[in-house]
């Protein structure tokens, strides 16, 4: 009897964790409006070493790949865009990616729309706030954690409060 109850509880907990994982990243990418104003963490994300400044708005666009879905580092209305408002964070991030991933400069400069060059990319964990910015959906990246070669977090970069 106790084994049956323990198994049932374990099964329910496993089902809840699986459901949470399925709702997470893919759902946010497909329907960001459902997460407006919420803080979302993207685990095991790939971030390209090239960070592009949007000349019109002044923030920096990130080129990321989440669960094999590539989100190019340019501002598009048809997708969730990953951006950094802090110039200081963008510079720190570029320097740290180059320091942690010596292959950043060796990979292809261009990326296809549907995939990213893994030679140029680094594994990170992104903490973002999902927001509507004019006609765009953005993930305002407030914290970036860089993974080491063995899957451990080796560095954490935070946006300064009031970076906008």
CATH of the domain at 44: 2.40.50.140
The CA dihedral of 134, 137, 141, 142, to the nearest 10 degrees, is 60
Look at residue 10 in the predicted model and tell me its pLDDT.
Answer: 47
Look at residue 109 in the predicted model and tell me its pLDDT.
Answer: 53
| 164 located within any domain | no
Number of domains in the chain: 1
Residues of the chain above pLDDT 70, percent = 72
Distances (CA, A) of 90 to 3, 4, 15: 52, 52, 38
**pLDDT tens across 31-69, in order?**
999 999 999 999 989 998 788 899 999 999 999 999 889
Look at residue 17 in the predicted model and tell me its pLDDT.
Answer: 43
DSSP assignment, residue 110? -
Point out the residues of the chain with pLDDT beneath 50: 6-7, 9-23, 107-108
Q: What domain range includes position 80?
A: 2-158
| 28 located within any domain | yes
> For residue 122, what are its two tokens?
């680094």
| 98 located within any domain | yes
DSSP SS3 for 134:
coil
8 A C-beta contact, residue 39 and residue 128: yes
| 163 located within any domain | no
Look at residue 21 in the predicted model and tell me its pLDDT.
Answer: 40
């Amino acid at each position: 009897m106790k084994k049956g109850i323990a198994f049932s509880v374990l099964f329910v907990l496993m089902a809840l964790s699986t459901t949470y994982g399925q709702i997470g990243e893919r759902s946010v990418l497909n329907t960001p409006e459902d997460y407006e104003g919420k803080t979302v963490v993207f685990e095991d994300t790939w971030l390209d070493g090239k960070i592009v400044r949007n000349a019109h708005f002044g923030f920096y666009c990130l080129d990321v790949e989440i669960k094999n879905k590539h989100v190019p580092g340019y501002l598009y209305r048809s997708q969730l865009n990953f951006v950094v408002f802090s110039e200081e964070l963008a510079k720190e991030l570029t320097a740290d990616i180059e320091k942690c991933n010596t292959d950043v400069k060796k990979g292809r400069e261009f990326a296809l729309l549907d995939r990213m060059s893994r030679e140029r990319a680094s594994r990170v964990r992104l903490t973002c706030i999902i927001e509507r910015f004019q006609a765009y959906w953005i993930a305002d990246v407030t914290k970036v954690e860089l993974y080491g070669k063995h899957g451990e977090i080796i560095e954490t970069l935070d946006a300064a409060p009031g970076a906008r």
